């Protein structure tokens, strides 16, 4: 279909839609079922069976299976079957872990998927791009990533960057009129918008004409297939560490086997014991457990409204030393309300806050009639005309009696919403204005111009340019000013008058928006913003407030205790920004405020020298953010940077942790980010950092627990062989220990909550090794102690009854298990086992209890006694076991506690 040649009504007819109401929800659902989701093919994912079989491809597991086969051929059927069961259970556990991680990551992709504004049943709503269907009416605006091929039916200064399709990085000006010609290339189809391209300016409405693999992007889908690895730096480091540990474990295992054979032990028995020991000692599951730990942590972050797009960000969060946060919506509630209006030396106070259009206009505390105040009325009318926000009423039923209550909902920018509500308080509604004024053209707000303008025509045919934006910028573009009902040429006195008003309003933490206008002559043609936004008549300023979020002050204080500096970045006036920063306790006594003009004059090197003293950046454009990031990074900081606009993307990408806003953020900002705040709230950043620190600490806990346990298992066998003793453990017992103690308890550590002081420690050095802060010593010393106490318990039991090797082996087996299960509680704290309540992590308690129950079954259930070569223990032997098993954790933990 040559959509670009069709008239709009033809496109509507061909796609079975209406630009007035869009598709019905039911019809959209039917089309989605019939034609499938709007997604590009991703290639085949490994099947569940393949993932399961992959659990058995490890070299040591294959050797064990070969040894099991030999065991069966030699008639050791019970041992062979039991080993097979244990290997199978290990495989199932690995499979469950891998599937859980995969599902978590798939859920993340779904959560961070782009959304589009779609007209369904006559109402605009946000819909996942994957749920868009042919015939949907879609609204696009600056910063949106287009999610399907569309025929444009309405454009307003719309420009789209199509480099992903055409290779041309220069944005294309779009229009809605039909095109004619047989050989229109994609780059020439000016009334089409294509999947994967980016809106750089303006806005538009289009009809979806192709989705998924039928789009132009679908035809070259290989260009968009994701090749990004989800392996984090920590996982890579642990994989390398795993290789070293495998080499060490194999050498020690080989040493155990050689010494055992030399001491006269049966070769087959020593070989099977050696292979079992190698399987148990090699932490081959470490990278998988780290993946699961990251996935579990990420799921917790999602519950706290933080969506992780790139897994390495989880690790980096724990290193963050500076958070550069946008003010509006992140530190504040994003519910702008006009409270003061200034014009020509007069100031009106506006009562009531929020979006409900009720309130009065006061001068010196006395109510005024807006109809008699011409300048005030003009300010309100023009503020509402130079605007794209709408405030609608929704009926809400509340209480047991289900009484109906009106809820006023804003659709659009909160600053624009505040201007609309202020006008509505004077009974100037958008509908009334539409009946008198017709909007002809719009020049959308741009951060470089710091203003927005519209051209309107009234019923008499008179055209006006109406401009709103930063007061200082609009004043500099104004040649006239309204003073009362008079229009005067702008003089230095007038400039001083306006600047005093800006300062006075800003000192009350109000954001200021100026309104200006210019009548147009009948022959004047306006093509560019520069043509419109000149020789303006300055009317006045509307001062509005966006109250701080109540939870933010506490979060900033908590970040400060954690060694994390909070920096506020805002487009507000410096005085306003400073007032809000002091309210939020961001600004210390000696803190500096830097505005955009000063920032532009500074080089990165010059900014670097003073960046540690600056806490507020005011009047900045998004381009300045990149300079701030680079200066902070040059000083050695790990920077978290928030943003929502297209121009924020470079700074978000350059930051160590790029954070996009989930509600107000553009798709471009979200794609550049590693973290998305689904509630746009600063407190969520603090929670994410806390969770990031905890995930890293939990990974250290696994490593500490697993490696100390593995060291203990190897050493008990090695020392026994060196001393010429019988085998303290048989192969089947070693494998059982590996399954039961390394499985559930290790996983439960990943669900551990953060320690109480996790946000009172300084940020972690990003170059810190996994074994930093004494972890290597804790692993070696505790592993050594576990090995020694197990061997001592074995020797004592064996000396008491030299002819009963099975009892001694059972005692060694139970001592080793109990020592590890007690040790797992010690791993929960950097300090000692007594530092934390063991019942805080109920999952760990259940995991340990289930491991103990399985151990008791092995030593007291007769059929299992035969399989695992165990006997029932009496009270005296249990006293020995528990006493010895407690020594490594309780004794050493007590010593550490006393040292403190």
DSSP string, 87-150: HHHHHHHHHHHHHHHHHHHHHHHHHT--EEEEEETTEEEEEEGGG--TT-EEEEETTPBP-SEE
What is the Cβ-side half-sphere exposure of residue 629, based on CA atoms within 13 angstroms?
A: 23
Residue with tokens 């069966």: 72
Cβ(786)–Cβ(826) below 8 Å? no
Counting as low any pLDDT under 70, the low residues of the chain are 41-46, 57-68, 70-80, 82-83, 86, 90, 93-94, 97-113, 164, 167-169, 182-184, 220-236, 239-240, 242, 276, 279-289, 291-292, 396-404, 646, 743, 892-900
Cα-Cα-Cα-Cα torsion 591, 597, 602, 607, nearest 10 degrees, comes to 30
List the one residue out of 236, 259, 252, 146 whose CA is nearest residue 192: 146
What is the Cβ-side half-sphere exposure of residue 873, based on CA atoms within 13 angstroms?
A: 26
pLDDT digits (tens, 9 = 90+) for 267-304: 877 877 777 677 666 665 566 667 667 777 777 888 88
* Exposure b/e, 193-224, CB count within 10 A at least 16 = b: bbbbbbbbbbbbbbbbbbbbebbbbbeebeee
Give the per-residue pLDDT at 550. Answer: 86
Distance CA 114, CA 107 (A): 14
Give the per-residue pLDDT at 724. Answer: 83
Give the per-residue pLDDT at 471. Answer: 94
Distance CA 292, CA 250 (A): 26
Name, in order, each residue with C-beta under 8 angstroms of 435's C-beta and a sequence gap of 6 or more: none
Give the per-residue pLDDT at 72. Answer: 65
Cβ(390)–Cβ(347) below 8 Å? no
- pTM tops 0.85, yes or no: no
Segments of 534-633 assigned E as strands: 536-545, 565-569, 592-595, 614-618
Cβ(651)–Cβ(629) below 8 Å? yes
Catalytic positions are 326
Cβ(679)–Cβ(662) below 8 Å? yes
Specify which residues 439 forms β-bridges with.
456
Give the per-residue pLDDT at 424. Answer: 95
- What token pair was written down for 846? 């259940």
Distance CA 824, CA 814 (A): 15
Give the per-residue pLDDT at 64. Answer: 57
Give the per-residue pLDDT at 725. Answer: 86
List the one residue out of 644, 647, 577, 648 whose CA is nearest residue 615: 577
Distance CA 713, CA 564 (A): 42
Cβ(308)–Cβ(314) below 8 Å? yes
Q: How far is CA 162 from the centre of its chain?
A: 28
Give the per-residue pLDDT at 111. Answer: 47
């Amino acid at each position: 279909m040559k959509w670009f040649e069709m008239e709009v009504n033809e496109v509507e007819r061909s796609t079975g839609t209406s630009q007035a109401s869009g598709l019905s929800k039911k019809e959209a659902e039917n089309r989605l079922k019939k034609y499938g989701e709007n997604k590009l093919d991703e290639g085949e994912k490994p099947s569940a069976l393949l993932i399961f079989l992959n659990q058995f491809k490890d070299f040591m597991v294959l050797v064990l299976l070969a040894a099991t086969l030999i065991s069966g051929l030699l008639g050791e059927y019970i041992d062979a079957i039991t080993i097979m069961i244990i290997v199978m259970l290990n495989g199932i556990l690995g499979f469950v872990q891998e599937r859980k991680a995969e599902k978590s990551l798939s859920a993340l992709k779904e959560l961070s998927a782009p959304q589009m504004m779609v007209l369904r049943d006559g109402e605009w709503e946000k819909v996942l791009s994957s749920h868009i269907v042919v015939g949907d009416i879609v609204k696009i605006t600056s910063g949106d990533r287009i999610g399907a091929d569309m025929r444009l039916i309405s454009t307003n200064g719309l420009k789209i960057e199509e480099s992903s399709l055409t290779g041309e990085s220069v944005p294309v000006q779009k229009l809605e009129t039909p095109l004619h010609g047989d050989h229109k290339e994609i780059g020439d189809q000016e009334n089409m918008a294509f999947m994967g391209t980016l809106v750089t300016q303006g806005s538009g409405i289009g009809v979806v004409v192709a989705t998924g693999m039928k789009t132009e992007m679908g035809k070259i889908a290989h260009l968009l297939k994701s090749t990004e690895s989800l392996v984090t730096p920590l996982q890579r480091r642990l994989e390398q560490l795993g290789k070293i540990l495998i080499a060490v474990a194999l050498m020690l295992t080989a040493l155990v086997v050689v010494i055992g054979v030399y001491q006269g032990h049966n070769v087959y028995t020593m070989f099977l014991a050696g292979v079992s020991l190698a399987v148990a000692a090699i932490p081959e599951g470490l990278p998988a457990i780290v993946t699961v730990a990251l996935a579990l942590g990420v799921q917790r972050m999602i519950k706290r409204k933080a969506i992780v797009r790139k897994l390495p960000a989880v690790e980096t969060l724990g290193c963050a030393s500076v958070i550069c946060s946008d003010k509006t919506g992140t530190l504040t509630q994003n519910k702008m309300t006009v409270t003061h209006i200034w014009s020509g030396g007069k100031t009106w106070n506006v009562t009531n806050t929020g979006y409900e259009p009720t309130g009065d206009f006061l001068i010196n505390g006395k109510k005024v009639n807006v109809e008699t105040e011409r300048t005030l009325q003009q300010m309100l009318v023009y503020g509402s005309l130079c605007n794209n926000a709408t405030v609608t009423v929704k009926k809400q039923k509340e209480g047991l009696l289900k009484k109906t209550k009106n809820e006023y909902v804003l659709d659009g920018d909160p600053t624009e919403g505040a201007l609309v509500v202020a006008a509505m308080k004077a009974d100037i509604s958008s509908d009334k204005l539409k009946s008198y004024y017709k909007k002809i053209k719009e020049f959308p707000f741009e951060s470089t111009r710091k203003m927005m303008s519209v051209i309107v025509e009234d019923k008499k045919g008179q055209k006006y340019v109406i401009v709103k934006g930063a007061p200082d910028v609009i004043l500099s573009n104004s040649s006239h000013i309204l003073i009362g009902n008079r229009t005067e040429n702008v003089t230095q006195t007038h400039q001083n008058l306006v600047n005093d008003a800006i300062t006075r309003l800003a000192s009350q933490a109000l954001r200021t928006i100026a309104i200006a206008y210019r009548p147009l002559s009948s022959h004047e043609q306006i093509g560019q913003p520069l043509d419109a936004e000149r020789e303006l008549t300055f009317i006045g300023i509307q001062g509005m407030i966006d109250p701080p979020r109540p939870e933010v002050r506490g979060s900033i204080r908590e970040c400060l205790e954690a060694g994390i500096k909070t920096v506020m970045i805002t487009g507000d006036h410096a005085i306003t920004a400073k007032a809000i920063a002091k309210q939020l306790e961001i600004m210390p006594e000696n803190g500096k405020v830097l505005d955009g003009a000063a920032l532009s004059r500074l080089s990165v090197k010059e900014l670097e020298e003073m960046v540690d003293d600056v806490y507020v950046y005011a009047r900045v454009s998004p381009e300045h953010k990149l300079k701030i990031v680079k200066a902070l990074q040059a000083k050695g900081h790990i920077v978290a940077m928030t943003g929502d606009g297209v121009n924020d993307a470079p700074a978000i990408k350059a930051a160590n942790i790029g954070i996009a806003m989930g509600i107000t953020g553009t798709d471009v900002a979200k794609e550049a980010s590693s973290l998305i705040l689904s509630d746009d709230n600063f407190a969520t950043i603090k929670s994410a950092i806390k969770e990031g620190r905890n995930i890293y600490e939990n990974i250290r806990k696994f490593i500490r627990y697993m490696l100390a346990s593995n060291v203990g298992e190897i050493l008990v066998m090695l020392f026994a062989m060196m001393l010429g003793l019988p085998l303290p453990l048989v192969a089947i017992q070693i494998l059982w220990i590996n399954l039961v103690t390394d499985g559930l308890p290790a996983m439960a550590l990943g669900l551990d909550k953060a320690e109480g002081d996790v946000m009172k420690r300084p940020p972690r050095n990003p170059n810190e090794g996994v074994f930093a802060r004494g972890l290597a010593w804790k692993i070696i010393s505790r592993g050594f102690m576990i090995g020694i106490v197990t061997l001592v318990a074995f020797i004592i039991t064996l000396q008491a009854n030299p002819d009963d090797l099975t009892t001694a082996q059972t005692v060694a087996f139970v001592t080793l298990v109990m020592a590890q299960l007690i040790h797992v509680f010690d791993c929960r704290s950097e300090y000692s086992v007594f530092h934390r309540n063991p019942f805080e992590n109920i999952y760990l308690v259940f995991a340990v209890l289930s491991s103990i129950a399985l151990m008791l079954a092995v030593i007291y259930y007769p059929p299992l006694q035969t399989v695992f070569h165990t006997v029932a223990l009496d009270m005296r032997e249990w006293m020995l076991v528990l006493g010895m098993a407690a020594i490594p954790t309780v004794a050493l933990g007590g010593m550490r506690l006393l040292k403190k």
